[in-house]
């Protein structure tokens, strides 16, 4: 089944939506997919424009994931181990917590440490 076995590395629900948008039905099989259907699928996968209409229902849009890897930072000073005299704090770092104050606390604590360290050098 085309809908159940993804042809590309996409989240399953997104894959299903896009395949349906391309006219693929739940009964369609890869082996019997017509050239026309395959081309429509390629078109949908490569040229679909999505418009953002709102925020996630899960209210997950609080913090940015990723950032400066923590193993590149001296946590006692927040100074970069890669570039001397460069300091990082808060969301610039690869830290993200669930909501509830953890991200504020991370920003305040790392900011305070970085500030103290910069002032004392």
Ligand X SMILES: Cc1cc2nc3c(=O)[nH]c(=O)nc-3n(C[C@H](O)[C@H](O)[C@H](O)COP(=O)(O)OP(=O)(O)OC[C@H]3O[C@@H](n4cnc5c(N)ncnc54)[C@H](O)[C@@H]3O)c2cc1C
| Contact footprint for ligand X (CB under 6 A) | 62-63, 90-91, 99-104, 107
Q: Work out the number of other CB atoms within 10 angstroms of the CB of residue 33.
A: 15
By Cβ distance, which residue is nearest to ligand X?
Answer: 90
**To the nearest whole angstrom, how small is the minimum distance from the Cβ of residue 117 to ligand X?**
16
**To the nearest whole angstrom, how small is the minimum distance from the Cβ of residue 13 to ligand X?**
25
Q: Which is nearer to ligand X, 43 or 116 (by Cβ)?
A: 116
Q: Work out the number of other CB atoms within 10 angstroms of the CB of residue 102.
A: 14
**To the nearest whole angstrom, how small is the minimum distance from the Cβ of residue 88 to ligand X?**
9
| DSSP symbols for 52-78 | --S--TT--TTS----B-GGGEETTTT
């Amino acid at each position: 089944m085309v809908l159940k076995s993804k042809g590309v590395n996409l989240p399953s629900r997104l894959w299903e939506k896009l395949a349906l948008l391309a006219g693929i039905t739940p009964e369609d099989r890869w082996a019997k997919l017509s050239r026309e259907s395959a081309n429509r699928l390629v078109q949908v996968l490569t040229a679909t424009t999505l418009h953002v209409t709102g925020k996630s229902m899960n209210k997950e849009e609080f913090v940015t994931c990723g950032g400066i890897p923590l193993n590149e930072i001296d946590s006692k000073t927040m100074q970069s181990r890669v570039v001397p005299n460069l300091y990082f704090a808060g969301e610039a770092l690869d830290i993200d917590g669930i909501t509830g104050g953890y991200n504020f606390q991370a920003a305040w604590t790392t900011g305070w440490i970085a500030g103290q360290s910069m002032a004392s050098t």
